[in-house]
């Protein structure tokens, strides 16, 4: 059955293509960076923990010392103005395929039921490329070349979500949740439901701002406050607490440059002078929304 190994192999081949194109342009640091990332997708399970750790350190060194080069002005993408908003239609194929595959393919016997959504997402990318090539008839390597130009514009920030998700796993294994729970237990007044809810919501947003990823913050704050206090202590509805708690974490996503794929990547692609301009524009929405999420947990999760 098709599962994550095949999806990782597909992603690895794409990054390997970026590395080869960068090498052809004599951008050795870029070629090394994307080549290392390709290696992690293609053979990471064979490298072992130590080998993957060295690989990550090498990538961090390349990105941290500013070795990666941005695209030249001569590499600007072709103006697609003549196609208008029709250019967005192929992009919609990707989420549509992912949604359809999630509902229609779990019992097909062809795809691992546990990974059907991710595999369907990959199939959507391939299908969208087929439609674009049939419609626009570009050069054979146009998609790979434009992908390489785009990924070079983003640079090292493209892998920050992966690194931050790994940080969340490290925090969970290291027992950070228990440590935070101990501190919260001393600060939250005994019997105060609202204080416990507020601590959970604010903690989700705060740890998301640190980690840049609400999914990384979730196990820490749920182990610290959500499970022991809100669910077991006050008898709250676990589904409501966890679902709205994630939304509270997403409010933190709006307020941190650590969420690079949402806040730094758009600034880089739009060539904004202020790299934190997206974050600053979102704070006015994020804070009221966080307050609403905390209120919703308090009103809805407890009988």
Contact 258, 212 (CB under 8 A): yes
What's the pLDDT tens digit per position in 126-139?
A: 999 999 999 989 89
- Residue ranges covered by each domain of the chain: 4-160, 175-300
What pLDDT is recorded for position 162? 76
Main-chain dihedrals φ then ψ at residue 55, nearest 5 degrees: -60, -45
Tell me what pLDDT residue 96 has: 95
How far apart are the C-alpha atoms of 255 and 24, rounded to whole Å?
A: 39
Measured distance CA(286)–CA(264) in Å, rounded: 17
Query: 235-271 burial, b if ≥16 CB within 10 A, otherwise e?
Result: ebbeebbbebbbbbbbbbbbbbbbbbbbbbbebbeee
Low-confidence stretches of the chain (pLDDT < 50) are none
Nearest alpha-carbon partner for 9 in 131, 122, 124, 120? 122
Q: What is the pLDDT of residues 220-257, one digit of tens each?
A: 888 889 999 999 999 999 999 999 999 999 999 999 88
Separation between Cα atoms, residue 244 and residue 250, nearest integer Å: 10
């Amino acid at each position: 059955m098709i599962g994550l190994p095949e999806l990782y192999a597909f992603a690895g081949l794409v990054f390997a293509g970026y590395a080869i194109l960068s090498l052809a342009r004599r951008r050795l640091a870029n070629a090394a960076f994307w080549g290392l990332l390709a290696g992690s997708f293609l053979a990471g399970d064979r490298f072992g923990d130590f080998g993957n750790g060295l690989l990550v350190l090498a990538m961090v060194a390349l990105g941290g010392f500013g070795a990666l080069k941005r695209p030249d002005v001569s590499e600007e993408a072709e103006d697609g103005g003549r196609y208008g908003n029709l250019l967005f239609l192929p992009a919609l194929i990707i989420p549509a395929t992912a949604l359809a595959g999630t509902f229609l393919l779990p019992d097909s016997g062809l795809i691992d039921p546990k990974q059907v959504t991710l595999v369907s997402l990959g199939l959507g990318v391939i299908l969208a490329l087929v439609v674009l090539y049939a419609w626009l008839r570009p050069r054979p390597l146009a998609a790979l070349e434009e992908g390489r130009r785009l990924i070079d514009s983003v640079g090292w920030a493209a892998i920050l979500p992966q690194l931050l998700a790994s940080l969340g796993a490290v925090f969970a294994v290291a027992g950070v949740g228990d440590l935070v729970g101990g501190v919260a237990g001393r600060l939250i007044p005994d019997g105060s439901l609202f204080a416990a809810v507020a601590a959970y919501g604010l903690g989700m947003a705060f740890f998301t701002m640190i980690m840049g990823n609400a999914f990384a913050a979730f196990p820490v704050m749920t182990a610290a406050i959500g499970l022991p206090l809100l669910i077991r202590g006050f008898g709250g509805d676990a589904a409501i607490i966890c679902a709205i708690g994630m939304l509270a974490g997403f409010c933190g996503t709006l307020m941190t440059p650590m969420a690079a794929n949402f806040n730094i990547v758009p600034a880089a692609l739009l060539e904004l002078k202020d790299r934190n301009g997206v974050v600053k524009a979102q704070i006015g929405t994020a804070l009221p929304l966080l307050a609403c999420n905390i209120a919703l947990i308090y009103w809805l999760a407890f009988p």
